[in-house]
Amino acid sequence: MNLKGKKILLGVSGSIAAYKSALLLRLLVKAEAEVRVVMTQSATEFITPLTLSTLSKNPVLISFTKNETGEWNNHVELGLWADLVIIAPATAKTLSKCATGLCDDLLTAIYLSARCPVFFAPAMDVDMFKHPSTQDNIQKLIGYGNHFISPEHGELASGLIGDGRLAEPENIVKILDDHFGKRPVAAAKRVLITAGPTVEPIDPVRFISNRSSGKMGYAIAEAFAAAGAQITLISGPTHLKTSNPNIRIITIETASQMFHAAQDNFGANDLIIFAAAVADYTPRHVAEQKIKKQGDSMTLDLAKTTDIAGTLGATKKPGQLIIGFALETENELSHAQDKLARKNFDYIVLNSLNDPGAGFAHDTNKITVIDKDKNVRQFDLKSKDEVAQDILNIVIAKWSEA
């Protein structure tokens, strides 16, 4: 893991979710990070300093001085010591104090002194989290360059259901690990990815779609976000979710909506990856009411949808890279090479439905990557997360050459 040997300062503020800080601490230590814990006074009402000091193998710091000796807990040294500060849970009060520079305790003083990345993982009731003052403080802290790990949706201590649960410790550790795994060349890049199917309505009940799950596109988004890139993910209907704060999702349903979203964002990105399975045709007329069953047959009048990749590929600017996907069932290589040339791609990722475990719905994929110079690279059957890493490595190598 990338956390090995990293110096992590874990801040714990006063929330019922503070019990999860012990689980988070245990995972960080297991990843071989060196962890020091700083608690607010109110946090000690939810979990004991003894628990966290035992797990971290370091004294837990709470106040500016050590009461028994009067020795100073130097917030400046602590801020400079850390490779990363993570405040989890971060209460509405702690967010407010950090946003306004009010450092009336050791934790907030360390925050103001830190030169390393600072991550906030909020935990509070849903109405507190959604209150404009909390959201303003979050936006202010993001504007200062801090990172946020979004709270999760679920049942809260109040009994309400909504956003506000502290992110699970496993998810927090993954985000922190990904942070240290960032590739410098990717950190300044912006990436646009399309994923999932489109849904073309026939009437209010029926639609035309395909078997795409979106798993490949989402895996690519996570891989590039973990490398440090800023991601815009245009997603058709899917049950999938993302965990990385570097990923901004635009949800769409139809091919037309996907085209307009892609067109609006195309020019601002360094890399565009067309991984979505877009409908080639859509009903020319959508019935306003459910179509009743009549007769033995039914004819649909279909109109061709806009070729998103081809249309936008024709407008590619110098320095932009475009990767397309081709799912084929016959003459796979020749069809993929033709598509690569027609749509002005730099690379095309070919998968064949003739390969077991490849294509739609699977957690695995088997790809062949072809570039515009007709170089062909074949890969073994792998998980889609591993396939995403292979695609990332190809792009990183290309960016590094430039």
Active-site residue set = 210
HEC profile of the chain: CCCCCCEEEEEECCCHHHHHHHHHHHHHHHCCCEEEEEECCHHHHCCCHHHHHHHHCCCCECCCECCCCCCECCHHHHHHHCCEEEEEEECHHHHHHHHHCCCCCHHHHHHHHCCCCEEEEECCCHHHHHCHHHHHHHHHHHHCCCEECCCEEEECCCCCEEEEECCCHHHHHHHHHHHHCCCHHHHCCEEEEEECECCEECCCCCEECCCCCCHHHHHHHHHHHHCCCEEEEEECCCCCCCCCCCEEEEECCCHHHHHHHHHHHHCCCCEEEECCECCCEEECCCCCCCCCCCCCCCCCCEEECCCHHHHHHCCCCCCCEEEEEEEECCCHHHHHHHHHHHCCCCEEEEEECCCCCCCCCCCEECCEEEECCCCEEECCCEEHHHHHHHHHHHHHHHHHHC
Query: Does 6 belong to an annotated binding site?
Result: no
Q: Is 343 annotated as a binding residue?
A: yes
Which two three-digit tokens encode residue 26? 């245990």
Instruction: Give the bridge partners for 36, in sequence order.
Output: 9
Pairing between β-strand 368-371 and β-strand 364-365 as defined by DSSP bridges: unpaired
Structure tokens at 194: 């399309």
339 is in an annotated binding site: yes
Strand partners, 323: 273, 347
Pair 265, 194: CB distance under 8 Å:
no
280 assigned ligand-binding residue: yes
C-alpha distances in angstroms, 225 versus 33, 183, 186, 308?
22, 10, 9, 23
Residues of the binding site for CTP? 280, 290, 325, 339, 343
